[in-house]
Amino acid sequence: MNPAPMTWESLDWTILERLRAGFLDGSPTKGPYWKSRADLEAYDLTYAERIGWKWDAVLRELRWRAWTPSLRPGGLRLLDWGCGSGVAGRRVIDYLGVAAVAHLDVWDHSPLAVEFATKRAQQDYPDLQVRVWQAAAETPDVLVLSHVLNELSPEAQATLRTLAERTPVVLWVEPGTHEVSRSLQRWRDEFVAGGAHILAPCTHLQPCGLQQPGRERDWCHHFASPPAGVHADRNWVKFSQRAGIDLRSLPYSYLATERDPKRPPPTAGWSRILGRPEHFKPYARVLSCDASGVAELTVPRRTLPELYKHLEKNRGPLVYRWERNGDQVTGGEPG
């Protein structure tokens, strides 16, 4: 008989404080930081749910770009590598539909995490086969990676690189920090050089413009919105106060790739805004990325009031087609 799931009323706050101290350290882990099932339950209720909101934003953008993976007879083989509590794999299954998935494999360097992610997926999807991934197993169709990059040893990075190079689809979400994001950009260029197509967030297959000289201070990051009502939820408010987290800010970096040359990038010719637009009284300023590189553009309020307003209110993917005169936008439209 499975124990009752952890709730806000039964949440052990000392567990969260210990986990937070480990997360803030930011260095590669010297071993699993999960000490008990209670650790994973507390994490899944709080920190993992916030990561789930980031995945929701990424998967909404993929839906907006009209992307789903090519189905195979019998369903897709999904691998959640470095699964933690398994929130990323569950979000992807919800996006694809459980009927499209043949089985879910999970792997983590922590046996406790593997056990928790397996049981949680079995509870949520009783008819889905959930297995512990073995290195000699068949190549997955979809590789799911979530918040693993700053914890990888050189050996683990080599294992992951080999696995990613042979997997048709890679869906990868990381924190939106400068260091982690720029590392993910380097992986992005490796994937492109190896024949992968970038589904998102990029709108092109050229080398990453942020890796060019002079762009060292910039990074490719975006912001997810929490679900409606979170700011008024006393449990989440208490969590944000004790964890030192701003509920309004969910920065993330991500990469979605597919090794299918029959599919050109669906947003070729468009530009992706990095970070958030900055609004001033006479103009908005954006950091725009496209096939020509990265540029800081201004959108004048007086001559382009509707576009200025759209930049201010848009909460979806910040994808636009610009008309430009140098670094000033003279026209454009949202994706």
pLDDT computed for residue 68 by the predictor: 86
In angstroms, what CA-CA distances link 67 with 71, 161, 224, 267? Answer: 12, 24, 19, 11
The pTM for the full model equals 0.94
Q: What mean pLDDT value characterizes the chain?
A: 91
Q: Lowest mean pLDDT of 8-12, 134-138, 147-151, 238-242, name the range.
A: 134-138
**C-alpha gyration radius of the chain:** 20
The stretch 167-175 carries a mean pLDDT of 97
Section 7-15 average pLDDT:
92
Checking if the pLDDT of 318 tops 70, the result is yes
d(CA 165, CA 300): 44
Backbone φ and ψ for 242, nearest 5 degrees, come out as: -75, -30
Q: Burial-class residue 7 by CB neighbours within 10 Å (0-12, 13-18, 19+).
A: exposed
Which range has the top average pLDDT, 69-73, 87-91, 312-316?
Answer: 87-91
Which of 248, 318, 306, 227 shows the shortest CA–CA distance to 276? Answer: 318
pLDDT band for position 24 (cuts 50, 70, 90): low
Single-letter code of the amino acid located at 305: P
Q: Quick: pLDDT tens for 87-130.
A: 999 999 999 999 999 999 999 999 999 999 999 999 999 999 99
Q: Can you give the pLDDT at residue 85?
A: 97
203-260 tens-digit pLDDT:
999 999 999 999 999 999 999 999 999 999 999 999 999 988 898 889 999 999 999 7
Q: pLDDT value at position 320? A: 95
DSSP secondary structure string for all residues of 153-207: -HHHHHHHHHHHHT-SEEEEEEE--HHHHHHHHHHHHHHHHTTPEEEES-S--SP
Q: Rounded to whole angstroms, how far apart are CA atoms 105 and 117?
A: 10
Mean pLDDT of 270-290: 95
Asked whether the beta carbons of 242 and 16 are under 8 A apart, the reply is yes
The more confident residue out of 92 and 335 is 92
* Averaged pLDDT, 14-20: 90
Contact (CB, 8 A) for 144 and 78:
yes
Q: Interhelix angle for 13-25 vs 234-243, to 10°? A: 50
Contact 48, 56 (CB under 8 A): no
Tell me the mean pLDDT in the region 254-279.
84
Q: Compute how many other C-beta atoms are within 10 angstroms of the C-beta atom of residue 109.
A: 14
Binned at pLDDT 50, 70 and 90, residue 264 comes out as low
Task: Reduce the DSSP state of residue 208 to 3 states and report it.
Answer: coil
Tell me how far apart the alpha carbons of residues 1 and 81 are, in angstroms, rounded to a whole number. Answer: 27
